Chain A
Amino acid sequence: MNFDISKFIPIVQRRRIDVLMKERVDMVVITAGHQIAGERIETASLEELIFETVSTAIAKAGIAPESVDAIVMSGNDQTDGRIISCMVTAGPVGGVGKNVTTIASGPEHAFAYAYLRLLAGQGKNAVVVGWSKPSESVFPEHAELVSADPFIVRPIGMNRIIAAALQASVLPEAERSNAHSESANDPLISWPLTASDCQDHADGVCAIVLESREPGHVDGGAWVRGVGWAMDRYDLGDRDNIEAGGLTAATELALKQAGDSFGPIGTLDAFAVGAPNERRLAQRLTHLLGDDKTESFPSIDCLNPDFAAGLFAIWRAAQRVMSPVQPNAPHFAAAAATLGFAAQGVTVVLMSDLSEV
Chain B
Amino acid sequence: MRNVGILGVGQTDFVTKRTDVTYPELVREGAQLAFDDAGLSMTDIEAVVVPLAPDALIGIGNGERWLIESIGATGKPVMRVNNGGATGASAVEAAWMHVASGLFDVVLVAGADRVSESLSAQSVLNKMWDVAYERPYPQNTITMLAMSAMRYNHMYGADERDMARVTVKNRRHASLNPHAHLRELVTEDDVLNSRILAWPLKLGDVCPSSTGGAALILVSEEYASRLKKPVAWIRGLGQNTETFWMGDRVGPQALGDHADADALAVAFDRAYAQAGITDPTSQIDVAEIYAPFSSVEFHVIEAAGLCGRGEAPALLAGGAFHLGAEGVVVNPSGGTQCTNPIAVTGTVRVIEAATQVLGRAGDRQVAGAKVAIASAIGGDHQFYSTFVIANHLDPIGHP
A-side interface residues toward B, CB under 8 Å?
A: 5-10, 12-15, 76-78, 81-84, 86-88, 90-91, 95-106, 109, 112-113, 115-117, 119-122, 143, 146-151, 228-234, 238, 246, 249-250, 253, 257, 340-341, 344-345
Q: Does B266 reach chain A (CB closer than 8 Å)? A: yes
Per CB-CB distance, the 3 closest pairs between chain A and chain B, nearest first, are A8-B75, A15-B102, A147-B61
Instruction: Kindly provide the distance from the CB of A34 to the nearest chain B CB, expressed in whole angstroms.
Output: 22
> Which one, B62, B129, B241, contacts A95 given CB within 8 A?
B241
Residues of A within 8 A of B266 (CB): 97
Listed by A's residue number, 10 A-B pairs whose Cβ atoms lie within 8 Å are A8-B76, A14-B104, A101-B93, A105-B62, A116-B101, A119-B100, A234-B66, A249-B75, A253-B77, A341-B65
Q: Assess the A84–B255 pair: CB atoms within 8 A.
A: no
Q: Assess the B60–A228 pair: CB atoms within 8 A.
A: no
Residues of A within 8 A of B73 (CB): 231
Q: Does B168 reach chain A (CB closer than 8 Å)? A: no
Instruction: Kindly provide the distance from the CB of A67 to the nearest chain B CB, expressed in whole angstroms.
Output: 16
Residues of A within 8 A of B357 (CB): none
Binds A, one of B6-14, B48-56, B301-309, B388-396: B48-56
Q: Assess the A76–B60 pair: CB atoms within 8 A.
A: no
Q: Assess the B125–A83 pair: CB atoms within 8 A.
A: yes
Across the two chains, which residue of chain B brings its CB closest to A145?
A: B61
Could you tell me the distance between the alpha carbons of A306 and B60 in the complex, rounded to whole angstroms?
A: 18
Residues of B within 8 A of A96 (CB): 241-243, 255
Q: Which of A15, A100, A230 has the most CB of B within 10 A?
A: A100
Instruction: Kindly provide the distance from the CB of A136 to the nearest chain B CB, expressed in whole angstroms.
Output: 10
Could you tell me the distance between the alpha carbons of A149 and B66 in the complex, rounded to whole angstroms?
A: 7
Q: Does B199 reach chain A (CB closer than 8 Å)? A: no
> Which one, A88, A119, A249, contacts B244 given CB within 8 A?
A88
> Which one, B52, B60, B80, B238, contacts A149 given CB within 8 A?
B60
Across the two chains, which residue of chain A brings its CB closest to B96?
A: A120
Instruction: Kindly provide the distance from the CB of B20 to the nearest chain A CB, expressed in whole angstroms.
Output: 15
Q: Does B98 reach chain A (CB closer than 8 Å)? A: yes
Residues of A within 8 A of B2 (CB): 120
Residues of B within 8 A of A344 (CB): 65, 68
Q: Does B90 reach chain A (CB closer than 8 Å)? A: yes
Q: Assess the B78–A105 pair: CB atoms within 8 A.
A: yes
Across the two chains, which residue of chain A brings its CB closest to B67?
A: A234
Q: Assess the B90–A150 pair: CB atoms within 8 A.
A: no
Q: Does B84 reach chain A (CB closer than 8 Å)? A: yes
Instruction: Kindly provide the distance from the CB of B244 to the nearest chain A CB, expressed in whole angstroms.
Output: 5
Residues of A within 8 A of B241 (CB): 90, 95-100
Across the two chains, which residue of chain B brings its CB closest to A89?
A: B244
Instruction: Kindly provide the distance from the CB of B352 to the nearest chain A CB, expressed in whole angstroms.
Output: 22
Residues of A within 8 A of B22 (CB): 151
Q: Assess the B127–A83 pair: CB atoms within 8 A.
A: yes
Given contacts A87-B380, A119-B101, contact A103 B61 (CB under 8 A): no
Instruction: Kindly provide the distance from the CB of A147 to the nearest chain B CB, expressed in whole angstroms.
Output: 4
> Which one, A112, A113, A121, A341, contacts B1 given CB within 8 A?
A121
Q: Does B119 reach chain A (CB closer than 8 Å)? A: no
Residues of B within 8 A of A228 (CB): 77
Could you tell me the distance between the alpha carbons of A249 and B79 in the complex, rounded to whole angstroms?
A: 15
Q: Assess the B54–A83 pair: CB atoms within 8 A.
A: yes
Convert B364-392 into 0s and 1s, putting 1 for each residue whose CB lies closer than 8 angstroms to a CB of A.
00000000000000111011000000000
Q: Does B189 reach chain A (CB closer than 8 Å)? A: no
Given contacts A83-B127, A340-B62, contact A12 B78 (CB under 8 A): no
